[in-house]
Amino acid sequence: MTAPGRNAFVYRPTASPQAAATWTPRQIAMTNLRTVVGRAYPRVRGMLREKSWVFFEILLPFLATSAFVFVYRALQAPPQYIGFVVLGGAMTAFWLNVIWMMAQQLWWEKSQGNLELYFAAPMHIMAVLFGMAFGGFIMSSTRAAAVLVIATLVYGVSFAIDQWALLLLVFFLTLAALYGLGMMLASLFLMWGREAWHLTQLLIEPVYFVSGLNFPVARLGALGSVAISILPLAVGLDAMRQLAFADAAYPVGTPSPAIEAGILVVMVVAFIGLSRWTLAVLERRARQEGRLSVRWQ
Amino acid sequence: MTAEGFVPDTARLASPEWGGFDPSRTEGRGWIDIRRSFATAVRLGWQMEANWTDPLLFFIYSVAKPLASALILVVMLDVISGGARPDYRAFVVVGSALWSFVQSGVSGLAWMILDDRERYRMLKYVYVSPSDFLAVVFGRGVARIAVGAMGAAITIGVGVAVLGVPFDVARIDWPLFVAVMVLGVAAILAIGLLLAAICMQTRQESWSYPEAVAGALFLVSGVVFPLGVLPIPVQAIGLVTPLTWWIEGVRHSLFAGGVSSVSGPGTLFTQLSGGSGPDPLTIVLALLATGAVATLAAVAVFRASDRRAKDRGLLDQTTGS
Amino acid sequence: MPSSTHSDQPLAIDVRGIRRVYNVKPKPVVALDGVDLQVAPGEFFGLLGPNGAGKTTLIKILTTLLLPSEGSARIFGFDVEHQTKQIRRIMNMVAGGEQSGYGILTLREQLWMFSQFYGLPSRDGWNRVDELIAAVGMQDQAQQRVSTLSTGQRQRMNFARGLLNDPWIFFLDEPTLGLDVAAARAVRELVVAWKAAVPGRTVLLTTHYMQEADELCDRIAIVDHGRILALGTPDELKKRVQQESVFRLELDRLDGGVGALRKLPGVVNAALAAGDQADGKGERQTVEVNLSLVDDAALGGVVGALGGLGAHILALRKSEPSLEDVFVELVGRGFGDETDDGDRKDRDDVGPSGDEANVIDSTDEARERESEVVA
C-alpha cells in the first residue's frame, strides 16, 4: 500500500466519540436520504450493466400478457377486457418486483453477508428498504410502461379517462402501498430462511387470482371484497380499471375509485407503519437469537 | 484433536484401501458414478425443496400455485361465457395444470445454477468434483419437477372433481400417454437446460427469467387457447415447439374427444394436413422431432455457456445488486 | 487494566459480566461465560484465542449485532443494547474473509454506496472513496468489478470501507485471515497508521495469530471457551509463564560443573543444556548451560564469577517465551487442536474461570514444569 496522506485517515475530525455520536435531526434525515440513493444505485447500475433484462423483463412479459389477450379473443370477449388484461399485465411488473427484489431481499442480503454491515451502520434500515424499492421501481416502471404501450398499440386498446388526476393518484398510491407491503414482508422475512423464499413463491399466482389480474375483481364476490381490503394490487387494479375504461360497462360490486383511493391511503400508512414496527421488533429478536448473520439457512 | 501418542501409519493411509492414491480412480466408473451423482443430487434437491416446512404447508404450497393459475383462467372464461363452454373449461384447466409442470421443469435447473453459485457458493465445488456436472444439474432439478407434477395432478383432480372436467379412465390412451410423457419430460428438461445455460451467464436477479420464458412459450404452445386465434407466423412457431405437441398429446391421451389446440378452423396445421386433426402417431413423431431439435440446441448452448463461464471466470462469481 | 481513563472520558469498551448462550440443538452452546473487560480510549486491544473461543461473539455484541444473554456492555459510554444508533455512528468493523457487497459494482462504486450509508454527501463520498482507494493502494483496481477482486484485494477494499466514516473504534475480527505475508503486513501497517492519526482511536482486534497480537496490541486478553483466561500487556503475559530471566550460555569450559553456578547469588537454577551431558569433558569443546536468574541484573555477578572459575563466555542468549507459550500454558493446548464436548465438560468442571486464581494456578504449574526442565 502506498503511504496515505493524512486526509485518508482523518476525514471529518470530531472532538470526541460523544460528539461524533451526537447527530442533528438534519444529519439523520440526510443520512437516510443518501442511503436511499446509495442502495438504489447498484440496482440501477445493474440494469445498465447487464442488459439481458430488456429481453427477459420487457419482451417476454409482453408475450405472457399477450397469451391472456388471446384467451379473451378466443372467447370473443368485449374489447375492454383486452384492456383489463393489458393493465393487469403492466401492474404485475410491480408486484413481481416487490416479491423478487424486496420481500426476500433482507434474507438475500444476509446470505450475501451484507445484512450485518447494514445493521452496523448508522442509517435506518427502512432507508435501505426504500432504496431497494426505488431502484427496483425504475426497472419495473420500464417494464410496465413497455408492456402497456406495446400491448396498447398491438392490440388496439382504447382508454377512456375522465379523471386523470385521480388515476395518477391511484397509480402512485398503489405503488406506495405495494412497496409498503414489500417492506413489511421483507422485515418479516428477516427472521426466516428458505421459508421466505418459498412463501414468496406462494404470493405470486394466488395473489394474481384474488386480485383479478385478468378480470374485474368484482366477479369474485366476497373473495374479491376481501382482496380489495387487504391487497394493494387488487384495490389499485380495480380503481385504475374503473378510471381508465370509464366508458365501458364495468361490473358493479366494488367501491368507487375515490373510496378505493382512500383504502390505498390507509394501506400505505398501515404497511409502512407495520413494517417499521416489525423491523424494530424483529431486529431485536434477531439480535437476541443471533440471526442477523446466520447464512445458508 | 489428535489423540495423544497417535502415530499415523502413513504407509497404510497411502494405500488405495485407505483412500490413498489409486491410479485407476482417475478413470472413473462410468454409469455407476453418474448414477450416484444423480441420486445424491436428487436427494439434496428434495431436502432443499421440501424440508423447510411441515408437510401440510408444503402440500398447500405445492398446490396453491397451479390451482390459482387454473382458477384465473376459469374465471376469465366464466366472465365471458357464463359457464356455457364446458369443453373449453376442460381445455383451460388441463392446459393450465400441465403448464405448472412445465414451469417447475424449466425453472428447476436454472435455479440450481443461481442457488449454488450465489447463495450456497457451491457451484465451483460441484463443478470441480469428479461428479458429472450435468447429472448433478438434472438431479437437483428433479425435486422441483416432482413438486410440479404433484401440483399438476392435483389441479387436474380438482378440475375433474369440482370444475366439471370430463374424465373417463377407460378411455385413456395409455401407450400415447406413456410415449408423450417420456418425450415431453425430456423436452422440458432440454428447455430447462437451455435456461440453466443462460442463467450461468446472467446476474443474480435472473430468478424470474425461467418463468418469463415459460410465460412467452405459454403464448405459442396452445396451452389455454387453440393456436387458431394466433397469426399464422406465430402458429408456425408454436408448431415447432415441443411443448405444443406434449400438451396436445397429453390432452389427446387423457381426454379423448376434447378441444384440440393444434387443429381446427383457421389453424396452420389444418391447412397443412388438409383438414384432419393430428393422430397419435403424428403427435409422437412431431414431439420426437421438435424435442430432438430442442435437446440438441440445449446441449450446444450449454456447452457454449460452460466454455464462456470458464473463460470469464463466472462459475464462482456473485453478482447481486 | 484501566479502571478509569486519564480524564472523565468513558472507557472505549466496558464489558461487565457478559454471558451469551446460543439456543441450538441438540444442546445450548455457551459462547461467552461471564466476561469482564475494560479497554481505555486509544488502546490497541487484542483478543487472542482459538476458533470457537467466543471472540467473534463478543465482537458481535459490541458492534450491536447480537444481544448478550446476561451482563452489559458499553462503547464509549453508550449501551450496546439500547443506544445502538450512537454506537453505529462511531464504530466500524472488518472481518477476515468478508464477502460482502455487490458483485455487479466496481470497487469505487461499492465504496461510494457504503459512504452513503454513513451520510457522506455524494461528491464528498466519491472524493473520500478515491482517497481511501489510494490509501489501500488499489488505484489500479478502482474500476474493476468487486466480483473479480482477489482475496487480498477484497480485504483491502473491506478496510477502505471500514475507514469511510472515521470511526473512533474499529473492530477487526481476524482481519488477516487468508492473506499472504505481504498483504497481511500491509493491512497491519494500515491499521497502525490510521490509529496513530488521531489520539483516542481504539482498536479491538481478534486473532489467533500470536505474532500479530504481539506486534500490534498494547494489551491482550487470552480467551477460551468463552472466558478470559489472562489479560495484560504482551510482556506481562509472557512473564506469567516465565518469571525468572532465563539465559543460555556457551562456555569454553566449566571446571566446577553447574553446581558451582547454582551457588552464585541471584541464580535460581543452572543446568546443562539438553544433549550436552558430557559435563565439560569428552569430545565436545564447549559447554552449554541453561541459567535461570531472579532477574536480569543478576547476570553481571554470574559473568564476573565465571571469570573466577576460569571459564570464558563464547555466546550468551536470552530465552524469551512467546505468546504461544503463554497460550499453551493457560489453555493446555495449541491453536491447532480443537476440543470436543468432552474437553468442554472437563473445562467446565474447573469452575468459574477468567479469575486470577485460575491464571495463577496455571502459571504456577507452568513454572513447575519449567523448573523440572531446567533442573
B88 neighbourhood in chain A, CB within 8 Å: 74-75
Three-state SS letters, C77-122: CEECCCCHHHHHHHEEEEECCCCCCCCCCEHHHHHHHHHHHCCCCH
Most confidently predicted of A9-23, A30-44, A50-64, A193-207: A30-44
B3 Cβ under 8 Å from any chain C Cβ: no
Residue C356's pLDDT is what?
31
Chains that contact A by 3+ CB pairs under 8 Å?
B, C
Model confidence at C339, pLDDT cuts 50, 70, 90, reads: very low
Verify whether the Cβ–Cβ distance B52 to A96 is below 8 Å. no
C189 neighbourhood in chain A, CB within 8 Å: 1
pTM above 0.95, yes or no: no
C194 Cβ under 8 Å from any chain A Cβ: yes
Residue C323's pLDDT is what?
78
Q: Which run of H or E residues covers position A264? A: helix A257-289
**For C184-207, what is the mean pLDDT?**
92
Three-state SS letters, chain B: CCCCCCCCCHHHHCCHHHCCCCHHHHHCCCHHHHHHHHHHHHHHHHHHHHCCCCHHHHHHHHHHHHHHHHHHHHHHHHHHHCCCCHHHHHHHHHHHHHHHHHHHHHHHHHHHHHHHHHHCCCHHHHHHCCCCHHHHHHHHHHHHHHHHHHHHHHHHHHHHHCCCCCCCHHHCCHHHHHHHHHHHHHHHHHHHHHHHHHHCCCCHHHHHHHHHHHHHHHHHCCCCCCHHHCCHHHHHHHHCCHHHHHHHHHHHHHCCCCCCCCCCCCCHHHHHHCCCCCCHHHHHHHHHHHHHHHHHHHHHHHHHHHHHHHHHCCCCCCCCC
Q: Is the per-residue pLDDT at A31 higher than 60?
A: yes
B204 neighbourhood in chain C, CB within 8 Å: 103
Q: Is the per-residue pLDDT at A53 higher than 80?
A: no
Model confidence at B9, pLDDT cuts 50, 70, 90, reads: low
The string of pLDDT tens digits covering residues C245-281 is: 888 889 888 877 888 888 888 888 888 876 554 444 4
Distance CA A193, CA A99 (A): 15
Verify whether the Cβ–Cβ distance C76 to A18 is below 8 Å. yes
Number of residue pairs across A and C with CB atoms under 8 Å? 167
Q: Which residue of B has its CA nearest to C147?
A: B317
State the average pLDDT for chain C.
81
Percent of chain B with pLDDT over 70: 89
Verify whether the Cβ–Cβ distance C103 to B317 is below 8 Å. yes
What is the ipTM score, two decimals?
0.87
Model confidence at C368, pLDDT cuts 50, 70, 90, reads: very low
Verify whether the Cβ–Cβ distance A122 to C116 is below 8 Å. no
Q: Cell triple for residue C260?
A: 558451582
Q: Is the per-residue pLDDT at C283 higher than 70?
A: no
A112 Cβ under 8 Å from any chain C Cβ: yes
Verify whether the Cβ–Cβ distance A64 to B219 is below 8 Å. yes
State the average pLDDT for chain B.
85
B85 neighbourhood in chain A, CB within 8 Å: 75
B243 Cβ under 8 Å from any chain A Cβ: no
Q: Which residues of C touch B (CB under 8 A)?
A: 99, 102-105, 147-148, 333, 337-340, 343
Which of A73, A76, A94, A215 to mutate against chain B (most B CBs within 10 Å)?
Answer: A215
**Residue B208 CA to chain centroid, in angstroms?**
15
**3-class secondary-structure state, position C243:** coil
Q: Cell triple for residue C121?
A: 454527501
